[in-house]
Structure 1
Amino acid sequence: MRHLLKRILSITSAAALLFCSFHQNTTFLKNASFFPVLTASAADKSGVCGDNARWSYDEATNTLTITGKGPMYDFEPIFEPIVPIPWGGFSKDIKKIVIGSGITTIGKAAFEDCGSVTEVYIPDGVTSIGWNSFTFCYALTSVRLPQSLTSIDNNAFTYCRHLTEIVIPDSVSNIGPNAFEECTSLRSVKLPASLAYIFATCFRNCPLTQISIPSKVRVIGEKAFEGCLLTAVTVPASVEKIYQTAIPCSTLRDVTILNPSCEIVNDERTFYSAATIHGYAGSTAEAYAKKYSRRFVALPPPATTTTTTTTTTPAPALQRGDVSGDGAVSVEDAQLTLKTYVERLAGFHMKLNADQIKAADVDGNGEISVEDAQWILKYYTERNVALKNITWDDILGRKVLAFPRLLNKLLL
């Protein structure tokens, strides 16, 4: 919990740097709640955990069972007592979690800090594992993920230090930032074929010795594989951008980059200094190797034929608010939106491409404005600071809260 609190502090500090008077308008973080207040004492052994879901605890077998239909509630342990975890009084005694057929989503932080859990059953039909769902489940050794699963959210399995392997079904299209960070026994992971983004610190400090990056991945985030034990990595031709310190493993000996125009963020720590970089002559991989004095081995040019059939698959559009294209809505996206607006007012040509412009225009009025930057910051803070499971419809469907006027002052 201490680790997460430090993250919250760092997040709020980052937001404060952009909007210096933001603290005057954060009442909504403390008072707003989209979920019912649940009360439970250590003596309670059953209760409600969703509109149509219930929980029960068998003290004799230390088994927590979730039954019913539809989604579980999301829980807010950091901001107690807004939505306390109803089984929190004996969470450290739970050894087995059984989620019944009919449950569709695992609530945010539902099983956080259940440090004695060794066994979890997730049935077919579950589509989403919420933020921090199994964070600090130190004793968890394995978990089977159902074929119905589509999303593993931020920090879902962070600090599951006895988890040794995980097979992520191909139905999963989203694995959030930090999802498996600090799983210090995780040596084997199979990534889904549909994955488009490997987000920041997703597998940080996992002792992975090998990884197969799927052919649809477009972005590898900052510190995604930092602290891993990878010796060789092939970055497929689909990857458009590699962020700083993405693969800085001290064991890394070879990295092959198959996209000759892949953007590699300028940072000498993106790859370990002793690694040999393999890529095409004249590629960005070669330019990176020269800039940082790394050994470079040119790949043979791709074979050509007299007959070529080309099938163009449009790249997935950027999600709303993700102006930088790193797969997550952040303070930086709000900054980039504001900067673009100011440059346009000053008569400069906008440097964003069509997808970025569409992502920045969050209210869909056809213009990039101060309001768009405000919406982006509001979305970021409510999801990452207040840890609310809200959508863009929730944000844009309500009157904007009074954000500080620093944005407007910057334009004077």
Structure 2
Amino acid sequence: MKNAIKVLCFTLAVLIVGASAIMIYFKWDKSEFEYVDGTEKGTVIITAYSGDSKDIKIPSKLRGKKVTQIDTNAFEDSDITSVEIGNNVTYIGKSAFSGCKSLKTVKLGKSILNIDENCFGDCTSLEEITLPKSIEKLGGSIFANCSSLKKVELEDGSNFAIKDDVLFSSDMKKLYFALPYAKLGSYTCPDSVETIMPLAFFSCKNLTEFTFSNKIKVVPQGIFVLCSNLKKIEFPESVNQISSVITLQSGIKEITIPSSVKTIDNNAFIKSDGSVDTSLVIRTTSGSKAEDYAKDKGIKVELIK
């Protein structure tokens, strides 16, 4: 009987200690962030946020593993008001913080290499941000519709430059995008620019005229989407390719396309419902690719010399 009692007591003690250990483990393991293992050993990717705090700090590590990425849509439409990103994060995914309308303050870590497309889109309370010098790549329209944004600063030694509230590569050969507070009016692209990134002038409603540099070969996707006060555009002789969704929901009604253009995307000039915008007039030379394209799409052609 005494032996049975001893065994019972021992068993209960083991169970209690085990339960306590499990409770301690889960308390330690609990996180406000949802995450998965990264592609590199010893790293994790934050995929979502389930905490209650509106002022959040992305940690450098979770469960001893480095937090190196913030996934696509990870914080989309959340009601956070500030975020500080840890110094192990190198990549912030597409639309990671888009729609965070209460987000006012963002502090980026010192190791970020890539901020992807629309990362802070529709963050209508965001007022200012500093881009660290570590950044090597920026996606299109990362600040789209950030209506309260008044200042974007670059750290010394940055890979980028800002001129007339438009962001470029530091050598001025690549144009990334116009900042939301840019007063563009009649804008002339600097002569040094060879490449314009997709969505570069997305929703620039005060853009009234645009002049390309003579080094541009490709008109990028979505360049003038929602530019409601831009009425006409003229592509230079250097252009040989026109990408998709160039004029969607813009004010553009007249487009001059040179004979140098040999490729025009099937969806270059479409409306919101995906149909061809037949209200356009394409001005081009006889026998050009643009003439054939316009006739095939039912767009009016005006021949020029």
Give the TM-score category using the shorter length: 0.5 to 0.7
Q: Which residue of 2 aligns with 1:196?
A: 195
Query: Is 1:138 aligned with 2:124?
Result: yes
Cα 1:40–1:276, aligned 2, differ >3 Å: closer, same or farther? closer
CA distance in 2 between partners of 1:33 and 1:104 (Å):
12
- TM-score normalised according to structure 2 size: 0.52
Deviations 1:47-78 (A, max 9, x none): 62379xxxxxxxxxxxxxxxxxxx97321365
SS at match of 1:137: coil
One of 277, 283, 287 as aligned partner of 1:278: 283
Deviations 1:164-205 (A, max 9, x none): 8951123387789xx89xx99876488785553543x66555
Q: Which runs of 5+ in 1 are unaligned?
A: 1-29, 52-70, 80-84, 300-412
**Alpha-carbon contact 1:198-1:217 (below 8 Å) kept:** no
- Using the TM superposition, give the Cα deviation of residue 150 of structure 1 relative to its aligned residue in structure 2, in angstroms: 4.2
Structure number with the bigger relative contact order (C-alpha 8 A, sep ≥ 6) is 1
Aligned length: 235
1:167-182 aligned within 5 A: 167-171=166-170
One of 53, 59, 74 as aligned partner of 1:48: 59
Q: Which residue of 1 aligns with 2:44?
A: 36
Q: Which residue of 1 aligns with 2:255?
A: 255
SS at match of 2:208: coil
- TM-score normalised according to structure 1 size: 0.41
SS at match of 1:73: strand
Identity of aligned residues (%): 21
Query: Is 1:92 aligned with 2:80?
Result: yes
Cα 1:124–1:247, aligned 2, differ >3 Å: closer, same or farther? farther
CA distance in 2 between partners of 1:36 and 1:205 (Å):
35
**Alpha-carbon contact 1:130-1:153 (below 8 Å) kept:** yes
Query: Is 1:116 aligned with 2:102?
Result: yes
Question: Which amino acid in the other structure matches residue 81 of structure 2?
Answer: D
**Alpha-carbon contact 2:241-2:261 (below 8 Å) kept:** no
Q: Which residue of 2 aligns with 1:294?
A: 300
Cα 1:275–1:75, aligned 2, differ >3 Å: closer, same or farther? same
Question: Which amino acid in the other structure matches residue 80 of structure 2?
Answer: K
Cα 1:111–1:147, aligned 2, differ >3 Å: closer, same or farther? same
Cα 1:257–1:131, aligned 2, differ >3 Å: closer, same or farther? closer
- Using the TM superposition, give the Cα deviation of residue 247 of structure 1 relative to its aligned residue in structure 2, in angstroms: 1.9
Q: Which runs of 5+ in 2 are unaligned?
A: 1-34, 151-163, 271-275
**Larger Rg: 1 or 2?**
2
Between Structure 1 and Structure 2, which shows a larger proportion of helix residues? 1
Q: Which residue of 2 aligns with 1:406?
A: none
- Using the TM superposition, give the Cα deviation of residue 231 of structure 1 relative to its aligned residue in structure 2, in angstroms: 1.2
